[in-house]
Amino acid sequence: MEHTNIIIITRKLSFILIFFSFFYACFELQTSMSGPGLACDPSNGVTRSLPFCRTNLPIQVRVRDLIGRLTLQEKITHLVNNAAPVERLGIRRYEWWNEALHGVSNVGPGTRFGGAFPGATSFPQVITSAAAFNSSLWEAIGRVVSDEARAMYNGGAAGLTFWSPNVNVLRDPRWGRSQETPGEDPHVVAQYAVSYVKGLQGGDNPNNHLKLAACCKHYTAYDLDDWKGIDRYHFNARVSAQDLEDTYNVPFKACVEEGKVASVMCSYNQVNGKPTCADPNLLRGVIRGQWHLNGYIVSDCDSVGVMFEQQHFTETPEDTVAATIKAGLDLDCGPYLAIYTEKAVRTGKLSEGDVNNALSNTLTVQMRLGLFDGAQQPYGYLGPKDVCSPAHQQLALQAAREGIVLLKNTGRSLPLSPQRHRTVAVIGPNSDVTVTMIGNYAGVACGYTTPLHGIGRYAKTVHQPGCSGVACTTNQNFGFAEIAARHSDATVLVMGLDQSIEREAKDRVSLLLPGLQQELVARVARASRGPTILVLMSGGPVDVTFARDDPKISAILWAGYPGQAGGAAIADILFGTVNPGGRLPMTWYPENYVQKVAMTNMEMRAGGGYPGRTYRFYKGPVVFPFGAGMSYTNFKQSLAQAPTTLSVPLLATSANMTTKLNDEVKVAHTNCDSLNLELHVDVKNTGEMDGTHTVMLFSAPPRLAKNTAHPERQLVAFEKVHVMAGAKKRVRLNVNACKHLSVVDEFGVRRIPMGEHSIHIGNDLKHSVSLQTSNLEQIKV
Ligand SMILES: *[C@@H]1O[C@H](CO)[C@@H](O)[C@H](O)[C@H]1NC(C)=O
Ligand SMILES: *[C@@H]1O[C@H](CO)[C@@H](O)[C@H](O)[C@H]1NC(C)=O
């Protein structure tokens, strides 16, 4: 979603749309500063006593009352992100589009920096926070972001509906938006979604109230932006029912069912020949019917227009509009529904009842947010002092420290010592960057600590960028970098990517470091007098095999895009103030992987020469595997307690439907609540430095008679723990047989295989649990 999307609409009509957007945007500027509350101002004698303003009535009663007062034309102006005012009812204009991917952002037109709110805390980009493998951290970030958003809303600088997080599973390493995601593992992405959404929305508020309305996007099977001329506006993702159920939809389901998110956004692409925002099965059927969304469904920006203009989905715009609303779309980011819905209703393609349904979903969310509560605003105490507060900025630093991953450390060359490494050469195009560290969908940061500044707190620095930008095409300054390295006690190269290489609407075609970076790294490493440390900034993985295998390069750190305090966190890790504990949330493939695999292939599973995707299915060579990440200390795990058997009851009604009793049981045919396993793992820090360790549990199903290519192993639980040197801590992890030990068949049906399941604890421990169906006769009684 981005403003420039509008550019892609090429027909004449698009000029009208652009005019509409600009017109709306200008209008919004003037009215958005008029203070909180959208309606029901207590000084307005006309509306004060109307039922929709009465906070003591149930929300559905208020919503029904308001809908009953609106004309069709008024209703239609509320189907788009820039909802028009209804002055006779005291309702102001509302801009639905706000973003808060990793801090309050001004990418959406509903949020503006300036005046009392010059900036907001800019946390690490999501891929970095994901590498922390700490769900409490994800929720804590969400809480801080929602405090800052509420404060800005109170000051008239933001809305309350935020279209974050992005929970698409990172399927292909080239994706320009890899940085926005929590990585490639469906369980991690689902946990991230649930935790961040809870933080943003305020958890379990009384009476269903919301602090903010978050949005899980982009539903579904979306992770191709623009690759070799194939773009997201035309792409038809061919997805099997199996992959949809056990990969692409996993985070969305968790976000709705467990995170109780207030919104889901459908994507630009088609899935199996249908635009997602016009697919009644995907929207009404799955999101509402199966997962019971309590909230609204919004389109990606201009995607309703894209459907007609780019995908030629229907004969007329009215048919497109009717198809989306009937499928379950409630709100259009873009002007299309405002322009064509009236004609769709007049020509009988849509009923006013359909429009009412959509409206009741959006209005309910606005009322849950308190937007119709007049001056009685919850969180009214939050103001400018709560934005960029020291505590908030400290959390941004903590998140970066937790997310940075140590990938190589030959001969314990790290941590550096301020006593022995008094002079440090700081080299590379990312060595003194600011906005590069916050990635995309960012706002204006409170301030920055660049790597150069961070390292400068520990040592005297000699700065030589070597390359002027990440895609540097000349080596004319490499000599200066070599000289700096030759005369320093240690060399830190800060290399990698930025938004010119990977971003929304731009996928990569190569995984290698761009430009002449590889040459710079190799030459500087040869020239260095002291240890050479390579620090990488990137959202997606980079093939740095050359550096991994180069004995002259002592250590490699991956920082992702580490946020406003990124340089401080990098320096803290380099000098051992902080012991690194991050783990890679995605596989780092070698370059030849992307030369072999088309980005358009949505298959997760390997087969017929196709290598498959992510650690769950891909078994070929890697540069660094999913979960990689070292520490300055050593940990030893042992299993303290774990059940060895589990009986799976068959529901009486389904008993005669399950033919192969000793083979597998459909998840729908058992009582999932009774199928929890608790494992206790002891983690001992056997080294000399305090540190954090992430316990990762992977499950592997029994060998099945009818093998439908299930993941060999997949992550089912993780828990991060801080352990002091020499000490031991016990970690409890929960596994649910329905969620974590089930496999998905080719029809998308989840089944629990009976027999011996293996649970791997990291790479070194393995435990078996035997699953059997319980006695049928007993159950039937
Ligand atoms: C995880 O994050 C929470 C919340 O910020 C923090 O208190 C805790 O120390 C972190 N856990 C570890 C093991 O670092
Ligand atoms: C179980 O079998 C009985 C008798 O054949 C049948 O009437 C009933 O519908 C079956 N139950 C289910 C849930 O299929």
pLDDT value at residue 704: 65
Q: Which two tokens stand for residue 404?
A: 């940075």
Element (H, E) at 737: helix 737-740
Please give the pLDDT value at position 774. 84
Residues of the domain holding 525: 404-617
Same domain, 375 and 488: no
CA of 654 to the centre of ligand 2 (A): 8
Q: What is the CATH number of the domain that holds 551?
A: 3.40.50.1700
Q: How far apart are the first and last CA of the chain?
A: 56
Do both 92 and 223 map to the same domain? yes
Answer yes or no: are the C-beta atoms of 183 and 170 closer than 8 Å. yes
Ligand 1: residue of 123, 135, 136, 393 to mutate (most ligand atoms within 8 A of CB) is: 136
**Domain CATH code at residue 135:** 3.20.20.300
Q: For residue 75, what pLDDT is reported?
A: 98
Question: pTM for the whole thing?
Answer: 0.94
Q: DSSP for 281-329, please give it.
A: IIIIIIIIIIT---SEEEEPTTHHHHHHHTT--SSSHHHHHHHHHHHT-
Domain boundary among 385, 413, 439: 385
- Report the DSSP beta bridge partners of residue 375: none
Q: Which residue has its alpha carbon closest to ligand 1 atom 2?
A: 137
What's the domain count of the chain? 3
Judgement on whether residues 581 and 671 belong to the same structural domain of the protein: no
Q: Which of 586, 617, 648 is the last residue of a domain?
A: 617
One domain for residues 202 and 54:
yes
What is the C-alpha to C-alpha distance for residues 583 and 328, in angstroms, rounded to an integer? 39
75 & 140 share domain: yes
Does residue 295 belong to any structural domain of this protein?
yes
User: Do 101 and 241 reside in the same domain of the chain?
Assistant: yes
List the structure tokens of 281.
């099965």
**Nearest Cα to 14, choosing from 6, 25, 2?**
6
On whether the CB atoms of residues 623 and 577 are closer than 8 A, the answer is: no
Q: Residue 692 maps to which CATH number? A: 2.60.40.10
299 within domain boundaries: yes
Specify the DSSP element, H or E, that contains 720: strand 714-723
Residues 216 and 348 in one domain: yes
pLDDT computed for residue 33 by the predictor? 37
- Which residues, 6 or more positions from 398, have their beta carbon under 8 angstroms from its beta carbon? 137
Query: pLDDT per residue over 379-410, tens digit each?
Result: 999 999 999 999 999 999 999 999 999 999 99
- Predicted pLDDT of residue 31: 37
Phi, psi dihedral angles at 411 (to 5 degrees) = 55, 30
Residue at 2 is within a domain: no
Ligand 2 pocket check for 653: Cβ under 6 Å: yes
Encode 664-701: b = buried (16+ Cβ within 10 Å), e = exposed.
bbbbebbeeeebebebebbbbbebeebbbbbbbbbbbb
Nearest ligand to residue 657 Cα: 2
In angstroms, the CA 489 to CA 459 distance is 10
Q: Does some domain include residue 609? A: yes
Indicate which ligand has the atom closest to the C-alpha of 659: 2
10 in a structural domain? no
Q: pLDDT at position 651, please?
A: 81
Task: Please check whether residues 256 and 318 belong to one and the same domain.
Answer: yes
For 379, the token pair is 């969180």
Distance CA 699, CA 683 (A): 19
- The residues assigned a catalytic role are 300
Sheet of 263-266, strands arranged across: 216-219, 263-266, 296-299
Cα–Cα distances (Å) from 166 to 138, 196, 469, 575, 733, in that order, read 14, 11, 28, 34, 26
**Which strand (E) or helix (H) includes residue 646?**
strand 645-648
Residue 658: which of 751, 591, 722 has the closest Cα?
751
Specify whether 719 is located in the same domain as 768: yes
Q: Using the mean position of ligand 1's atoms as its centre, give its distance from the Cα of residue 136 in Å.
A: 6
Residues 447, 347, single domain; the answer is no
In a domain, 3, yes or no: no
Mutate to test the pocket of ligand 1, among 121, 134, 141 (most ligand atoms within 8 A of CB): 134
Domain annotation covers residue 683: yes
Instruction: Give distance in angstroms: CA of 690 to centre of ligand 1.
Output: 14
pLDDT beneath 50: ranges in the chain: 3-34, 659, 705, 777-781
Domain termination residue (choose one: 558, 585, 617): 617
CA-proximal residue: ligand 1, atom 9 (nearest): 722
What pLDDT sits at residue 460? Answer: 98
- 3-state class percentages of the chain: helix first, strand second, coil last, to nearest 5: 35, 20, 45
7 lies in a domain? no
Indicate if 472 and 603 belong to the same structural domain. Answer: yes
Q: What pLDDT sits at residue 661?
A: 52
In terms of domains, do 469 and 612 share one?
yes
Could you tell me whether strands 423-427 and 490-496 are parallel, antiparallel, or unpaired per DSSP bridges?
A: parallel
CA distances from 577 to 396, 401, 416, 491 (A): 16, 10, 10, 18
Token pair 């369980």 is found at 187
- Six-digit token pair at 630? 């070292």
